Chains A and B, each alone.
Chain A
Amino acid sequence: MKKLLTAVVGSMALASAPMAMSAEANKELKMAYDSDPVTLDIHEQLSGGIMQLSHMTFDPLLRWTKDLGFEPRLAESWERIDDKTMRFKLREGVKFHSGNELTTADVKFTFDRLKQSQDYKAIFKPFSSINIIDDYTFELVTSEPYPLLLNTATYIFPMDSEFYSGKTEDGKDKSAIVKHGNSYASEHLSGTGPYVVTERQQGVRVEFERFDDYWDTESPGNVGKVVLTPIKENNTRVSALLSGGVDFIAPVPPTDLKRIKRDDDSNLVTMSGTRIILFHMNQDRVEAFKNPKVRQAITYAINQEGIAAKIMKGFATPAAQMSPAGYQGHNDALQTRFDVAKAQQLMKEAGYEDGFTITMMAPNNRYVNDDKIAQAVAAMLARINIKVDLKTLPKAQYWPEYDNRAADMMMIGWHADTEDSANFYEFLTFCPDEDTGAGQYNAGQYCNPEIDALVEKANVETDLDKRAAMLKEVEQRLYDDAAFVPLHWQDLAWASKKGVHIEPILNVMNFPYLGDLVVE
């Protein structure tokens, strides 16, 4: 009888769903991520967790669509005034959680704060100023023509200037960004976003409730309450979904993909990601790596397809370059080049037929299956007589070693904060320069000023087609030169209970637009 009753209620809810669109947000969503946001101050750290929080509690000026285009949010429209200036029109009548109304003063406050933030100031360096025209019009000005102006504007989540200004009771500045230790902004939040933080116990749970005065009344989202529990252990997170303890989990570990697919009550969504996993070959440490033939031999010896299929269980897209599909620099012509005979041939030509011994380091808890990937690469290199002395470390110990360039080959995974190809080159293949910070993570010490110059040129080219051509050429030249060993782009996976429609709100940047989530 009870079952029958729920069935009836269920079908009634289903029937009334289309009418209830956006009208009533009364569903509850329990979700589990692998971590919870470290702070409520969205400018304290630039990380995946904070971006996810930002999209739940704030709104950006504009945001990425699924196919990496832009969609207006708090900025209604924008137009280019000249090659250094973009004029934005702000949406009117938008309210913050505190009740204050959004104006350009808040945008200016946010812009200035971003320039102060240790994690964001590098991204906002190309911006020279913000001009306030009136309450709902402003201009962003860059010092040079800057093609990534809109990409960067997706990081501007206007903060409530009135709420974050002034002094706390014990005399601290409310707008201060404090990296360690608590601040007003790390414990209080007022944004324009779909959810208000109602309760937060760090590391245990965060509760959100839908913001009654949310400006986006068109949003189909019908979730009234979100409970976020961080579950670090992969197995436990999957169990929580399968046992019905939570409705939505991310990330899904590759080993459990099948288990979730098999489960009739669950839904699995996977996407090719944008984080490239690669190895650097350190030319300062190994003389042989200075020879392009040796570097090419190594790229020919590595079976990316095999790693993606066997170790990653199909949960990765094999890569021959850094830019994933959809990025301006992505060059379709570049294919993985696994060919052991060719690799041996190149080693012979380079005069290293008998091979040599190198050291290799990789983290063992940073990327999906990182240590196993490193072991596989080491085994593959043995076939061209390169003997590898491999050491894998937990990430906390790995990065200091990385900064010291402590091994001949080192693994790194990189996601471009700007969602643009140039970011990869600037950090991973630019000639290392301590003063400018270029090539900060270039553990290969690869240096080709011509390529760097080409990237710099692309960075001031606002004609996007021309720019794309330049970046594609950069990929091609890095490929020909075998500047690094690309492995794959790590895939992304989310899973939910049936009836929780996560597919439309997910994206490759991995910040689900939970405000628009529809739950049956």
Chain B
Amino acid sequence: MLAFLVQRIAQALLVMFVISVIAFAIQDGLGDPLQEMVGMSVSDEEREAIREELGLNDPFLVQYLRFAGNALQGDLGSSYFYGEPTLDVILEHLPATLELVIGASLIIVVFSVPIGVYAAIRPQAWLSKFFMGVSTVGISIPVFLTAIVLIQLFSIGVVVDWFPADTGWGQWLNEALSTEGGLPSYGRGDELTHLFGTWESGFFSSGGLAHLILPSVSLASIMLPLFIRLIRAEMMEVLQSDYIRYARAKGLSAGRINFLHALKNTMLPVITVGGVQIGIMVAYTILTETVFQWPGVGLMFLEAITRSDIPLIVAYLMVVGLIFVITNTVVDLVYGLVNPTVKLTGKKA
């Protein structure tokens, strides 16, 4: 166990080192950070002076070594735009992103498991076919579009008048298809509860939760169909296995077979995929956060790129790399708990 963790920490350091080198190497392609810092009519001399001050004129190796030296002491530099240490800036924005990911994960867990299991147990039922059909559509619509449609439907509202309003059924259909709107379409609102440090949470107030709904649903819209299909496929495979047949022959109740014996084994690959997907979800938030003006790290990163805020870009990439390594490590640990036949040290049992 300890050896495993040490190995993972070493891995994390390597990942972060590689990321920092790559991020540093591409900074020339990211544009000139000065453009965002000074007005158009500032003279070349003034610009040169600022560049010199920022150390942008030094050769690549000098710049990188200076950065690496500071990084080893825990200082990842200061953001040009925010004027604060990059880690502080990221920590300020991270809770918003994590809450969004938590919100989306909750939606995924609550819906994917029952729907996936149901579709596996009753593959021929029309409801199963309906879920599968919807999930195909869901997986193929980009987050961006889902988000815009959701905003139109539930924030602005839609009035449908396609059907004759003077007939009873027409009016009923019109009303059924029209939406009220009213859900907040941007940001996190102002009803946030302070938890600790930089963590302001939206989970503890109705206003905060209302702001979470649309972004979480959008973010979940891509992953949810994936998980429904994954659970369904795994479950169907497990249901074919010998020990399930034996349990059936033995006369165990269907509920016990499906939910105790089959589901447990179904979840093994789901956890692995799920862990990796949570990491990916942090990346997906860039799109969702942009559409909903969600003040998380995704939006922060995108803006850092348009501003060529190089220290912030480098720091963000390193932090994301770290998050990936951490989630993978946690997944491996959990995997060991669920399936005792897997040993962490890598030796096959």
Contact = CB atoms under 8 A, between A and B. Distances in A.
Contacts of A242: 156
Of the listed residues A38, A45, A396, the one surrounded by the most CB atoms of chain B closer than 10 A to its CB is: A396
B300 A203 contact: yes
Contact of B81 (A38, A204, A230, A434): A38
Nearest to A180: B80
A398 B31 CA distance: 7
Contacts of A398: 31
B232 interface: no
A232 B83 contact: no
Given A236-B151, A236-B293, A243 B156 contact: yes
Given A180-B80, A203-B295, A239-B151, A45 B31 contact: no
Interface in B290-348: 290-293, 295, 299-300, 303, 305-308
A395 interface: yes
Contacts of A240: 185-186, 293
A181 B306 CA distance: 19
Given A46-B39, A243-B155, A396 B83 contact: no
Interface string B77-107: 0101111100000000000000000000000
Interface stretch (A116-124, A189-197, A250-258): A116-124
B310 to A, nearest CB: 10
Contact of A180 (B30, B54, B148, B187): B54
Nearest to A416: B41
A277 to B, nearest CB: 14
A240 B155 CA distance: 8
A441 B293 contact: no
Given A38-B81, A395-B306, A231 B44 contact: no
Interface string A236-271: 100110111100000000000000000000000000
B41 A232 contact: no
Nearest to A187: B83
A179 B81 CA distance: 9
Interface in A396-438: 396-400, 403, 414, 417, 427, 434, 437
B36 interface: yes
B349 interface: no
6 contacts: A123-B41, A186-B83, A203-B299, A235-B148, A236-B292, A417-B39
A427 B41 contact: yes
Contacts of A243: 151, 155-157, 181-185
B39 A399 contact: no
- Ranked nearest first, the 10 interchain pairs of A and B with the lowest CB-CB distance are A396-B31, A46-B39, A243-B155, A182-B83, A397-B31, A119-B39, A396-B308, A204-B295, A437-B43, A400-B32
A179 B47 CA distance: 11
A258 to B, nearest CB: 15
A45 B30 contact: no
A128 interface: no
Q: Is the interface of A mostly helix, strand, loop or mixed?
A: loop
B31 A394 contact: yes
A182 B84 contact: yes
Interface of A: 32, 38-39, 45-47, 118-119, 121-123, 178-182, 186, 201-205, 227, 229-233, 235-236, 239-240, 242-245, 365, 394-400, 403, 414, 417, 427, 434, 437, 440-441
A397 B38 contact: no
Contacts of B32: 396, 399-400, 403
A396 B42 contact: no
Contacts of B148: 235, 239
B155 A440 contact: no
Contacts of A403: 32
Given A236-B186, A239-B151, A396 B35 contact: yes
Contacts of B303: 203, 232
B83 A239 contact: no
Nearest to B302: A232
Nearest to B181: A243
Nearest to A35: B303
Interface residues of B, number: 52
Contacts of B109: none
Contacts of B45: 437
Of the listed residues B35, B45, B183, B184, the one surrounded by the most CB atoms of chain A closer than 10 A to its CB is: B35
A104 to B, nearest CB: 27
A180 B35 contact: no
A397 B36 CA distance: 11
A124 B30 CA distance: 33
Contact of B186 (A46, A122, A239, A365): A239
A118 B50 contact: yes
Contacts of B37: 45, 179-180
A425 to B, nearest CB: 13
A229 B80 contact: no
A118 B38 contact: yes
B42 A119 contact: yes
B30 A397 contact: yes
B63 interface: no
B290 A46 contact: no
Contacts of A38: 81
A202 B82 contact: yes
A203 B89 CA distance: 11
Of the listed residues A201, A204, A227, the one surrounded by the most CB atoms of chain B closer than 10 A to its CB is: A204
Contacts of A231: 186-187, 293
B294 to A, nearest CB: 10
A396 B30 contact: yes
A233 B36 contact: no
Given A46-B41, A243-B157, 11 more contacts: A45-B39, A119-B39, A180-B80, A205-B190, A236-B291, A239-B148, A240-B185, A243-B182, A244-B182, A400-B31, A417-B39
Contacts of A229: 186-187, 293
A253 B299 CA distance: 20
B144 to A, nearest CB: 9
B303 to A, nearest CB: 7
A233 B290 contact: yes
Contacts of B186: 32, 229, 231, 236, 239-240, 245
A397 B30 CA distance: 6
Nearest to A46: B39
Interface string B267-292: 00000000000000000000000111
A119 B38 contact: yes
A47 B39 contact: yes
Contacts of B33: 396
Contacts of B291: 233, 235-236
Interface in B90-140: none
A121 B39 CA distance: 11
B211 to A, nearest CB: 10
B152 A239 contact: yes
B44 A440 contact: yes
Interface string B237-266: 000000000000000000000000000000
Nearest to B80: A180
Interface string B161-189: 00000000000000000000111111100
